[in-house]
Amino acid sequence: MQKRNKMIFAACTAAALVVTSSFTAFAAEPAPGAQAGLNVSSIEDMTVSEFGTNNTTVNREEHDMGHIYVGVAVTDGEIDEANSNWADRVTEEGGTYSLTLQDEVEGEGFTAVRVFGEGTVNVTGDLYVHDDGDGTYDSDFTGMGAAITEVDGSNVYVKDVNFLSEGIVRSFANVTGSNLFVEDSVLTAVGANPFKDFYEDYHNTAQTDVMISPPWVLSLQGAVRTINVLGVNPNLVIADSEVTSGGWAVLSTDGCTAPYYWLYNTSLNVLPESAGGMNSGWKILGYDEDAYGSAYAAFMIGSSVENFYGVDINGATWAVVDYGGDAYFQGLKAGETYEATDSATGDVIYTYTAEEDKDSVVNTVFGFLGQTAGTVTLREGSVFNTADAIAIYRDANVDWYFDGAELNPGNGVLVQLMDNDNTTIGGFDPFGIYLEEAPGFPTEAFEAEASYVFTEDSAVDPSKTYYEDAPDGGYREVENPTDAGTVAYYEKTTPGTYGTVTFSNGEYTGDVYNGSGYYEQAPDALDVTIAEDAVLNGDIALTSHVHGMFLNGRNVDDVIAAIDEANAAHAEQTGFYAGLDDVEYVFLDANGEVTENKDEAVALQFTKFSTMEYYLVCHVINQIYYNGAAHLDVTVNGTWKPAAASLVTYLDIAEGAHVFAEVTDLGDGSFLVVPADEEAAPGTYGEKFVYVAGADDGSSSGESENEEAEAAESEAGESEGEAAESEAGESDGESPESENGESEAAEAPAEAPQE
């Protein structure tokens, strides 16, 4: 078995991890501060607000009186003149207030517009805000320093706004339980560098009262979420606009319940390091210097629904992080009308008519991070060009639906299920400083214990095994289960998680891997369906994985020099992260074995790296291998053409399906599927996995010490910590409301409320 795995590794390396950089470097729109005619002012010339914070209550004394300055404050539909520095600049008509900006404002804690309650404000013009603060008084959850904050049912309409911010958590908008509409605007939030610009004792944490950067376990860093959406039933609509972040996030949701995004003909951009953004690890990983920055374009949590129509995403680490919600990507059709609906009521709140055909085109490092539970649907008109995998699946219950999309993974991987880096790194406050793993591919599966959950069946299911309390403690099998209104027995849960992948309506090229169950984490199950109208050219395989990268012909000395340069930065680091250990690595030869001869190396494994090398998180390479515990089920109703070698635990070839392969039973519960000119006969190989969800299923290991309560408020965790309650109500966090543990991925999810 081990020898065969080595041979497969060697056969696969030639085509693996060919990094592409189709993203063209861009520059943000000219900064409003560079334009003539701006009114330059400072918070030193303003009256401090009586508000404790601009937005959510985060229990931090520094956010109390003395640090908030507001241009225009509207409370319950009325101007609050006592707390408004620009009250005389506002016009009012029919209960709607309007403000034209032509301003540059220096200093921490300034907000141009603050709306609490059911007020309506229109905003237009140019705004440049900046400060050189070190984050001592900041928390991203307070809304302090956001240009616009709104809470509890307000409506803010932004049109023809050119916005630029520089400084820690200087977002454009912080929206809690309200509605934000953006049209024809250019919004850029540059942020800061956590390793250079933050206060001396800063450390990476997700406690909401001090959170000013993302958890490094997300494979990114930075200091601003350009737009952050919180609270209960908020709505965000963006049309014909550009939104850019220098690092962390372009659009985010957090501490929320059922937020809705509706995006039309809009670009979401992340600045590369060469344009003032964060390091993407380009020197080590081999990217174009100007290709990528360090941020996600959008985040899903709290059962969010996010719709992307003709949306371009450039330079992000992740297009979307799914920690509890449903994402839909598709193109726009000229002349068609699209309706945005309210999260709470379903009423139409915005109508968009497309002037031309426009695909959604994504140029990112990864496509998606599936972190807990949810769905991702990529329809026709979606084009994904990624340097790494289209989807990284970390200990998740996410359903992926590829429905006519064009997928171009630079490393050839469509879906990569792997063990969760969050757990491997460990810690919460602060996060663990290092990710460490033993040299070489692991071969022993982690033995995870199953738990027991009370069944809710109304009648005995003969296919199930039931358990009852044992007299001496624990559980024992029920020999003759009987109905009792509700079957009053327990079921033994399945360790790990269960996800699905469905290919339909098109031809796809790339591989699907399940590499779970090694790093002290339960093995997971993945169910793959190739629909009748789909063709998959690629392997579907159980694997072992390590953090690393294939060289793909790169000079190994150049890669070593890039690692040495990253290590040299450790010596210059001050504060909490001073004196970090160097990045450690080993060479892997064509058989996947560790070698000391760098001239034999076809890949590098990163055996230890720190917070400062955040960009190495989730970058893994695979060796085809069955650990005896993970599951990979494949149902083929269409056409499957394996590329080199596939390894599955179950294969169902339907009548009329086409599988150009030879199938071999390896006798250990797995089946080797290798390319062949002849088609395999219809039939079933192996036994299909049946998933039994546990009571705490979908927690994804959490980031905090209290996984169930605190990880449920997290953003993989964006707010993995203390329960982030908005003033509009208590968050649902990432509770897996859309999870369907026993689904066979045969049907697409219900349509998002749309046109």
Note the pLDDT of residue 28.
41
Note the pLDDT of residue 747.
39
Give the DSSP H or E segment for 283. helix 282-285
Extract the tokens encoding 691: 């998933």
pLDDT tens digits for range 85-119: 999 999 999 999 999 999 999 999 999 999 999 99
Contact 676, 662 (CB under 8 A): yes
* pLDDT exceeds cutoff 90 at 678: yes
Where does the pLDDT of residue 716 fall: very low under 50, low under 70, confident under 90, or very high at 90 and above?
Answer: very low
Note the pLDDT of residue 62.
54
Note the pLDDT of residue 33.
53
**Domain-by-domain residue ranges, the chain?**
38-361, 452-492
- Alpha-carbon span 587 to 600, nearest angstrom: 8
Note the pLDDT of residue 570.
97
Say which residue the tokens 């344009």 belong to. 275
Residues in the chain: 755
Where does the pLDDT of residue 12 fall: very low under 50, low under 70, confident under 90, or very high at 90 and above?
Answer: very low
Note the pLDDT of residue 693.
87
pLDDT tens digits for range 261-312: 999 999 999 999 999 999 999 999 999 999 999 999 999 999 999 999 999 9
Give the DSSP H or E segment for 270. strand 267-270
Closest by Cα among 126, 128, 67, 118 to 97: 118
Note the pLDDT of residue 463.
87
**How many other CB atoms sit within 10 Å of the CB of residue 33?**
18
Where does the pLDDT of residue 696 fall: very low under 50, low under 70, confident under 90, or very high at 90 and above?
Answer: low
Where does the pLDDT of residue 745 fall: very low under 50, low under 70, confident under 90, or very high at 90 and above?
Answer: very low
Say which residue, 492 or 706, is predicted with more confidence: 492
Note the pLDDT of residue 2.
33
- Alpha-carbon span 229 to 329, nearest angstrom: 20
Phi-psi region of 269 (alpha: psi -120 to 50; beta: other; left: phi over 0): beta
* pLDDT exceeds cutoff 70 at 336: yes
Integer-rounded Cα radius of gyration of the chain? 26
Mean pLDDT, to the nearest integer, of 474-493?
Answer: 91
Residue 676 one-letter amino acid:
A
pLDDT tens digits for range 183-240: 999 999 999 999 999 999 999 988 887 889 999 999 999 999 999 999 999 999 999 9
Find the angle CA(727)-CA(308)-CA(534) to the nearest 5 degrees: 130
Note the pLDDT of residue 35.
64
Of 28-32, 106-110, 165-169, 556-560, the least confident: 28-32
